[in-house]
Structure 1
Amino acid sequence: MEAVSYSALRKNLKHYLQQVNDDATTLLITNRDNADDTAVLMSKRDYDSMTETLRIVSNPALMDKLRRGQEQIAVAKTKQHELIESND
């Protein structure tokens, strides 16, 4: 993870915003006056992905379904079918 000072971020905000969006990287924003005053900048796309992953991992019932599905795939107990279209 690249680190950048708060003042450098302010001077080059457009560049750093483009960088985290284009490269899917995170950026550590530091404050030389207070080491505890730091933040992380990431793209909205990466943030959404991370929060969705956390939601799935924190749901025991969903994780159980995923594990059972992985086990079925591992022992070739799967069936292929056409996509079911929703009437929504």
Structure 2
Amino acid sequence: MVTAVAYTNFRKDLKSYMRRVNDDADMLLVTNKDEHDNVVVMSASDYDSLMETLRVYQNQYLRNKVQRGMEQIREGAATQHDITKD
């Protein structure tokens, strides 16, 4: 669930809210009198993850590849690979 905070309160305690967003891996809705001025604050790592998910979803080849992999897992046809070599 996204926490909401008024812009004036956000501004007064910016550092604390930024720390909370990063520590809790949650988003923060900063509200203003005009709802068109509302913004969402999230950690940079969460943003990067969201953008990567969006890129995969928008790329039909990658999206199909993920879907095939998910089907293989559901069917028990997946194999485990060691990707780290000493």
1:76 is displaced (CA, Å) by 3.2
Residues 80 and 11 (structure 1), Cα distance of their counterparts in 2 relative to 1, 3 Å cut: closer
Alignment RMSD, CA only? 1.8
For the structure 1 residues 82 and 29, does the alpha-carbon distance in structure 2 shift closer, same or farther, using more than 3 Å as the test? closer
- Answering whether residue 11 of structure 2 is matched by residue 10 of structure 1, we say yes
The residue aligned with 1:37 is 37
Could you tell me which residue of structure 2 aligns to residue 73 of structure 1? 73
Give the structure-2-normalised TM-score: 0.83
How many correspondences in the alignment? 84
Identity %: 46
| Structure 1 counterpart of 2:29, one-letter code | L
Deviation at 1:81, TM superposition (A): 4.1
Unpaired stretches in structure 1, ≥5 consecutive residues? none
Q: Deviations over 1:20-77 (max 9, x none)?
A: 0000111111112x22211001110110110011111111111111122222233333
Larger Rg: 1
In structure 2, the residue corresponding to 1:57 is in which secondary structure?
Answer: helix
How far does residue 83 in structure 1 lie from its aligned partner after superposition?
2.7
Of Structure 1 and Structure 2, the greater helix share is in: 2
Q: Which residue of structure 1 aligns with residue 63 of structure 2?
A: 63
> Which piece of structure 1 moves more, 45-54 or 66-75?
66-75
